[in-house]
Amino acid sequence: MFSNPHLFNLAEADLIPAAVVELGGFDVGMPGHAPGDVDIAATFQIVGEADGAEGVIAYGGFYPGVFGAPAHHNAAYFSAAREFQKKCRDLGFKGNFFADEIYAGSMYPPGSKSYPMLTSEIQMAKYLVRSLVGHSGLGMEAAPCHPHFTGRVHPQALCQATWGVQTLNPCRPTMTYYMWRNVATIMDDFYPAEFRVKFSDEKGLLFFRFERGNNERMVAVWIDGPHQDAVAQTKAEVSFAGLRARQARILDIVNGTEQELDFVANGWETVVKGLLIEDYPVFIQVNQ
């Protein structure tokens, strides 16, 4: 767990482990998570006693469907995560945050579910890219359990084995694999940022702000709701206050497409109308 010899000196530790607590034990209103979730009160005590530790706090394990209590990366989840970060910063923590054990999986060929975390391939993809983009919006690293397995059959793998034989193990990239790569390409060198952005109807939407350098702004947005096989859609207008754009485009991570957007820009804002927003992250990039 630690990468240096100061195992019990939390001020010197590279990783501060969060104590576990029973189901739904968050004191900032995050119900329905797994028993491996962090005890925030205990973590605050650890961080406080570390007196300004510089390292990483592991922000618990979040499994969908454990013991019939589904966990979703929704607005309530990310709001609680922000509060967790804020309280740790207030206590003097200067390091990074890491959300571990992000779990969603599907199996090929499809069939009966051997345990409740299994879902369809498209729901797995939506779950994991929401996690990837949302945690990036908080400046928090997030890790699925086993995305790298190729030769061994595992539902979390992004490239899965199919029908293996003694001499050959075929490998099949999943939807998540391609969507994950598209997210990585789009978000290259973008970092969380604060700037004024407003949607015409923000009810039911979840979005995060990013910037690259001084002239590139980006918003990732999706419909905040349960994961489903069908694609949910809605239309909205988005405005960037205090920004006069030269170019605007939208990027879709499912099809890997990029489309130039029509917009209206004046001296005090840029407005894009008729945006089609899905229930997985779409990215709106605006260049000044």
Pick 285 or 168 by higher pLDDT: 285
Pick 2 or 58 by higher pLDDT: 58
Confidence of residue 240 (pLDDT cuts 50, 70, 90): very high
Q: Is the pLDDT score of 1 beyond 70?
A: no
Tens of pLDDT along 106-161? 876 565 655 556 778 898 899 899 999 999 999 988 877 778 877 777 788 888 77
Pick 18 or 159 by higher pLDDT: 159
Determine the pLDDT at residue 68.
34
Q: Boundaries of CATH 2.60.40.1180 in the chain?
A: 191-287
In whole angstroms, give the CA distance from residue 128 to residue 120: 12
Averaged over 221-231, what is the pLDDT? 91
Long-range contacts from 234-237, C-beta under 8 angstroms, 24+ separation: 234/201, 234/204, 234/205, 234/276, 234/277, 235/274, 235/275, 235/276, 235/277, 236/199, 236/200, 236/201, 236/205, 236/275, 236/277, 237/199, 237/200, 237/271, 237/272, 237/273, 237/274, 237/275
In whole angstroms, give the CA distance from residue 32 to residue 247: 42
Class level of CATH domain 191-287? mainly beta
User: Which one of 19-23, 63-67, 112-116, 117-121 scores highest in mean pLDDT?
Assistant: 117-121
> Against a cut of 0.85, is the pTM above it?
no
Rg (CA), the chain: 20
Q: Which residues pair with 87 in a beta bridge?
A: none
